[in-house]
Amino acid sequence: MAESKPGFEVRLANFTGPFDLLLGLIAKHQLDITEVAIATVTDEFIKYIRKLQKLGEDWALDEASEFLVIAATLLDLKAARLLPAGEVEDDEDIALLEARDLLFARLLQYKAFKQVAGLIGETLEQESRRFPRQVALEEHFAAMLPELVWKHTPGQFAKLAEAALEPKAPKPTEVGLGHLHGSAVSVKEQAEILGLRLQLGNPLSFRALIADAESTLVVVARFLALLEMFRDKVVAFDQLSPLGDLTVHWTADGQDWSTENLSEEYEEQP
Amino acid sequence: MTDNDSAAAADENLDVSNLPGGAKAAVEAVLMVLDQPATATELAAGLNLTVAVVERLLAELQREYNGYTVKAPDMDVASDAGFSASPRGFELRNIAGGWRIYSRTDFADIVGRFVLEGQTARLTQAALETLAVIAYRQPVSRARVSAIRGVNVDSVVRTLTQRGLVEDAGTDPESGAVLYRTTSYFLERMGIGSVAELPQLSPHLPGLEGIEEFYDAGRM
Amino acid sequence: MTDNDSAAAADENLDVSNLPGGAKAAVEAVLMVLDQPATATELAAGLNLTVAVVERLLAELQREYNGYTVKAPDMDVASDAGFSASPRGFELRNIAGGWRIYSRTDFADIVGRFVLEGQTARLTQAALETLAVIAYRQPVSRARVSAIRGVNVDSVVRTLTQRGLVEDAGTDPESGAVLYRTTSYFLERMGIGSVAELPQLSPHLPGLEGIEEFYDAGRM
């Protein structure tokens, strides 16, 4: 084992052996690239690299960059196989390939974080076996503390309590564009949901209307839907104070309304 | 560390004398982090030792901290007749049957100066908010207050306890967590006779149950 | 030990070396009342000693508690080459930049029976991974963490905030998104002095920085 470098071996459901051989077989069309689980290959590779590092091998970095190049190629191949025409020529195809590379790079990054998460977990576990001394101040020291300055009236104190007990609205987060490709949220569908709720008659706050939104994207979609519905004059808005609650009323009494009337501008799928 | 793999009641099987420093170090470990004084009986129960052994160890530790005895390296047992070392900066005191480690009285001036440094007469905003939550939701655990405030409140609750504004109100029968309530000193400072006199909060605020569900869902 | 005889203010005049046990015991006495880690500088200021002296005393105490050295009665100074005694039940650790007394790990099971609080529930895998991303990429927005982890992390980040492990670090000037960073409590729980002491991420993935840029470019 020590006399020559062990080389990176892959263990998959349908193939076990050196990585190079795997590549060879794929190149010779003896193994279907679409059947190769890249995630497993990556797992195996990271395990392999770590072993090298434990052995103190300094060429681990070279191996890693080599692997990245090969893996990218592998992905090219896989993408090419998955593409209808099987050719990688026009810009769209290339863009798709780049997207796949990106995915792979992200996968590697994700794995790296997964591993350190394991280490952090172990450390936290170990450390939780130590208890810090954090005893209350001895009475004679506590007695030395300066007399507390207290200027709050019960009313002010109640205000403070109200602010503290108010459920915190989730803090703003940027809208990740990545999600747009992941799960499409239909403005029309959301308009349908909002329409049904508002037609029950009671005005509802925007906060209430998005209370069950499972993602920021749904919130955005509902907001856009409301703008559309406002344009169609089926809803009206009320806001008593700047940044206060936005109340939505249904105004299209008895009138036929269907989401089919909504403009199509948000429904274009990329 | 211990070979209690076959232990049916793993808990009961622990032999503290196998640990580095032995039973005496085990007693010390407990005393060092214990907030409330513990009786020899309580210590014995938790350590799987007899009360007599614990009492002997406590007396030994007390003498050690006072510098009267040190376990010499070539002796198997600590000896009262042993040489005398310097006293430690802490001492083990038995007050009304309970044992606790305190800083040594000789250093009271220094410790007092250290404690007072940076102390303010005012509560921080974080402390005020935490106090408000405890006042309106008492008795309540620190975990619950943390959930409501969205931040860890451990040290703030300690400050409030130190200030005599909140106190231990027993433990939650389900979770075993310590519950906190406001004190009569708090009422005094507020100028009211009882918590019932605190102004009503607006009814739209979720009750404790609502908050519980809301936040527990997010707990992993 | 110190010759601060020219100190003007009366309370500056206190010479800890005159007290039983000397400056070392004074440091110990102060350590007994800390409820959070104190830096050598803070200790030095409170004790009227130089930081260098305090650091030496802390190191000496640390060794003493670990049982590597004990001041022999017939020696004037503690000696590293001194005999070895049993470790004490506690240890002195320098964590998150501050010094604090902890019970020794060996006694965790026993101490745990007495100290119910502070024993926090274990973090889930999801929480650990999110914590890892925040620790290595701080300050970082939730959206960014989500992108790396591939799932929504809002509720997990809330849990981590409640646990006091991460905190708000202001907003990103460009996107307006809230940024998160780890807290000093996180360092304490990890038993490290700073995030720089976290295990290197790159050995797990050579060339990660390159990927990062690539990935960022691809996100926009």
Banded pLDDT at C178 (limits 50, 70, 90): very high
Contacts of C123 in chain A (CB under 8 A): 121, 124
The predicted-structure confidence for A170-204, as pLDDT tens digits, reads as follows 555 554 444 444 456 677 778 888 887 887 778 88
Percent of chain C with pLDDT over 90: 36
Q: Do B201 and A147 make contact, defined as CB atoms within 8 angstroms?
A: no
Average pLDDT over residues C62-78: 65
Give pLDDT, residue B116. 81
Q: Which residue has the higher pLDDT, C78 or C94?
A: C94
Q: Do C89 and B217 make contact, defined as CB atoms within 8 angstroms?
A: no
Residue B28 is nearest to which of C43, C89, C167, comparing CB atoms?
A: C89
Say whether C61 sits in a helix, a strand or coil.
Answer: helix
Banded pLDDT at A8 (limits 50, 70, 90): low
Residues 24-53 in B contacting A (C-alpha not used; CB under 8 Å):
32-35
Contacts of C149 in chain A (CB under 8 A): 110, 113
**The dihedral of CA A148, A152, A153, A157: what is its sign?**
negative
Banded pLDDT at A32 (limits 50, 70, 90): low
The predicted-structure confidence for B184-212, as pLDDT tens digits, reads as follows 999 999 999 988 889 988 776 655 444 44
Q: Which residue has the higher pLDDT, C153 or A105?
A: C153
The CA distance from C71 to the nearest CA of chain B, in Å, is: 8
Q: Which residue has the higher pLDDT, A13 or B98?
A: B98
- Quick one: which of B104, B63, B69 has its CA closest to C19? B104
Give ipTM to 2 decimals. Answer: 0.74
Phi-psi category of residue B101: left, alpha or beta, with phi > 0 → left and psi -120 to 50 → alpha: beta
The chains found to touch B (3+ Cβ pairs under 8 angstroms) are A, C
Burial A148-165 (b: 16+ CB within 10 A, else e): eebebeeeebbebbbebb
Contacts of C107 in chain B (CB under 8 A): 16, 19, 25-26, 29-30
Q: Is C147 touching A (CB cutoff 8 A)?
A: yes
User: Measured between alpha carbons, how far is B124 from C108 in angstroms, rounded to an integer?
Assistant: 34
- Quick one: which of A185, A186, A184 has its CA closest to A260? A186
Average pLDDT over residues B94-117: 89
Identify the residue whose tokens are 């206060």: A244
CB B157 within 8 Å of CB B142? yes
A124's CB contacts (< 8 A; 6+ apart) are: C122, C123, C189, C190
Contacts of B31 in chain C (CB under 8 A): 89
Banded pLDDT at C128 (limits 50, 70, 90): very high
Q: Where are the alpha helices (DSSP H) in A128-248?
A: 139-142, 154-165, 178-182, 187-198, 206-209, 216-231
The predicted-structure confidence for C179-220, as pLDDT tens digits, reads as follows 999 998 899 889 898 898 888 775 444 334 444 444 443 333
Say whether C45 sits in a helix, a strand or coil.
Answer: helix
Q: For C214, name the nearest residue in chain A, comparing CA atoms only.
A: A102
Q: How many CB atoms lie within 10 A of CB B45?
A: 15
